[in-house]
Each structure stands twice: as structure tokens, then as C-alpha cells.
Chain A
Amino acid sequence: MTGTDLGLAIAVFLACAVEAIEALTIVLAVGVTRSWSSAFYGVGAAVGVLAILVAALGPALTSLPINALRVLIGGLLLVFGLQWLRKAVLRAAGLKALHDEAAMFAAESAAARAAGSRVREGIDGYSFAIAFKGVLLEGLEVAFIVLTFGANQHRVGLAAVAAAAAVAVVVAAGVAARAPLARVPENAMKFSVGVMLTSFGTFWGAEGAGASWPGGDAALLVIVPGVLLAGLAMVRWLRRAPSRTASVSEAL
């Protein structure tokens, strides 16, 4: 496994773990309050849709010429990665609320209890729909990362394995805890994913556009720490600016 493959696996694993934690909270809420079997049907259906998406788009992406693929994927990763990094920096600086899995679990559970009975042919429609939607929406970002990272390195299989491993770890932790995983350092994980996506997007985007990096792949050893340090510096900058601490939209 090359260094780039390792970076791919780490980025996909962390991104998938973060999204899996959020999906787990939703599934737990409807499973505990309404119907486990219907929630599991919803999870299965969403995973099936995501698998079809990756299986269909993966080969299509990998068939593109390498430079076109790199500039396209580099650009997409940069746009996506900068969003992750921006939100993580804002959260680390205290300008945006941290994800609270316990509060989210309580809210989802209350909504599930308040919803009326929707059982048809033994399946609770509410549990199915909420679990399906939750897993699909959280999983779409992971599918995007699996596809972009995997297609660029022609390692969609490795990316999918890293994603599956993350889901397995999160589910095992959830089963062991029998509760939402509220103590996981989600923002630190999101910060790391943002740094990786932004760094690899910078590297591949420039290569695809025709640039040659000094040192080839070894340039990543400078780019990744550089983006990390820039992100941390921006956290400090935002923490020190009192006038900026007042209003940041929750909708970011």
C-alpha cells in the first residue's frame, strides 16, 4: 500500500465514521421508540441504493482520461473539503454549535413517539422512512468521497473497504454502548477529513491542470501539514477576534 493509498483509506474511514455516528443516532432513535425491524429494512434499502450508486458511477469515472479525471476530482474534493474544513474551524473556534448526539437522539425519539401509527403489512412506515432517509443522506457524502478518492487512484475497492470498516466499528461501538456515541470527538474527526480532502484536492487538481509537484507524491507530506497548520491558525485567529463571535448562522 502506497502513502497515497494510506491517505485515501484514512480519509474515507474518518469521513465514513463521522457520518455513520450521525446515522446511528437516527436509527437508534426510531428503533428504540418504534420498530427495530422496520428501521433495519430502511437501513438495508438505503445501503442498497448507495451501493448501486458507487457500483454504477465508479467505472464511469475511472474510464475518464487521467488528467481530466484529476482536475475534475481535485476540484470537487477542494470544494467539498473546504466546506468540511470551514465548518470544523468555525466549530473549533466556538462560532458554531458542536454536534450533540445526545440532544439529537432525544429530539428524534420525541418526534418518533409523537408520530402516529403508520403500520402497513407489518412494516412501520415512519421507522422505515426515517431510517432510510437518515442513512441515505449521511451516506451520500461518504459515497461521494469513496467515488472521488477511489476513482482517482483506481482504488474504489480499497475506499469501499475503508468505508465498510468504519461502519462496522461504529455499529460495534453503538451496540456495546447501547446509546448514541456522544463522546466521540466528532469535530476533530471532521477537521481531519477536511484537511485530507482539501490537501488531496489541491494535489490532484493542480496535477490534472498540468502542474508538476516538486518531489512528486512526496509533496503531500508538505501539503497535508501545511493545510492542517493553516486551519489551526485560523481557529486561533477567529478565537481572538471578539467582534466576530456574535453571529454565525446555524444553517451553515
Chain B
Amino acid sequence: MSSIVSAALAVWQFVVGDDWVTAIGVVVALGLTALIAAAGGAAWWVMPPAVIALLALSLRRAAR
């Protein structure tokens, strides 16, 4: 069991690294895109500003 947990932690660390807030932000932005697209709206515009904002916020946290 502990090896499964440590493997999962290693995968998490490898993919997400030390900035889990950005990872959550990506999931939220993709979810919002899916919701708008499912409602029949144009959803392409969600991701570009979301990505730029996530990068800026991540840099601000790192530089503080």
C-alpha cells in the first residue's frame, strides 16, 4: 500500500511539481471551457487569458 502511495506521490511530483495551484487552475479553466461549449457558446476564448493569468500568478508567487 505504501509503495502505491509513494508511486502516486512521485507521479504527482513529476507532473505537477511544486505549483499545485496552477494545476488546479488548468483543470478549472478546462472545465469552464467544457461547460460553455456544452451550452452551445463559443468557448475558445477561455483558455488563452486563463493560461496567461495562471503563468503571471505563478511567477508572482515564485518571486515573492
Measured between beta carbons, the chain A residues less than 8 angstroms from B30 are 71, 74-75, 205-206, 208-209
| Residue A176 CB within 8 A of the other chain | no
8 Å CB contacts to A: which residues of B11-35? 14-19, 22-23, 26-27, 30-31, 33-34
| Residue A95 CB within 8 A of the other chain | yes
8 Å CB contacts to B: which residues of A163-218? 198, 201-202, 205-206, 208-214
| Residue A234 CB within 8 A of the other chain | yes
Size bracket of the B interface? 20 to 34
Indicate if the CB atoms of A86 and B33 lie closer than 8 Å.
Answer: no
Indicate if the CB atoms of A211 and B47 lie closer than 8 Å.
Answer: yes
Q: How many A-B residue pairs have CB under 8 A?
A: 104
Q: Is the interface of A mostly helix, strand, loop or mixed?
A: helix
Measured between beta carbons, the chain A residues less than 8 angstroms from B15 are 76, 79-80, 144
Which among B16, B42, B62 is the interface contact of A90 at CB below 8 angstroms?
Answer: B62
Measured between beta carbons, the chain B residues less than 8 angstroms from A86 are 19, 22, 55, 58-59, 62
Measured between beta carbons, the chain A residues less than 8 angstroms from B16 are 79
Interface 9-mer from A5-13, A18-26, A106-114, A224-232: A224-232
Indicate if the CB atoms of A230 and B46 lie closer than 8 Å.
Answer: no
8 Å CB contacts to B: which residues of A15-66? none
Indicate if the CB atoms of A206 and B56 lie closer than 8 Å.
Answer: no
Docked complex Cα distance between A80 and B27 (Å): 13
Chain A residue with minimal CB distance to B45? A211
Indicate if the CB atoms of B59 and A251 lie closer than 8 Å.
Answer: no
Give the Cβ gap from B32 to chain A, nearest Cβ, in Å. 9
Indicate if the CB atoms of B26 and A79 lie closer than 8 Å.
Answer: yes
Docked complex Cα distance between A89 and B60 (Å): 11
**Contact (A202, B47) CB under 8 Å given A79-B23, A211-B33:** yes
| Residue A158 CB within 8 A of the other chain | no
Which among A208, A211, A219, A238 is the interface contact of B63 at CB below 8 angstroms?
Answer: A238
Interface pairs (13), CB distance under 8 Å = A75-B26, A75-B27, A78-B51, A82-B55, A86-B55, A140-B14, A198-B51, A198-B55, A208-B30, A211-B42, A227-B51, A244-B63, A249-B62
Q: Which residues of A contact B (CB under 8 A)?
A: 71, 74-76, 78-80, 82-83, 85-86, 89-90, 95, 140, 144, 198, 201-202, 205-206, 208-214, 219, 223, 226-227, 230-231, 234, 238, 241, 244, 248-249, 251-252
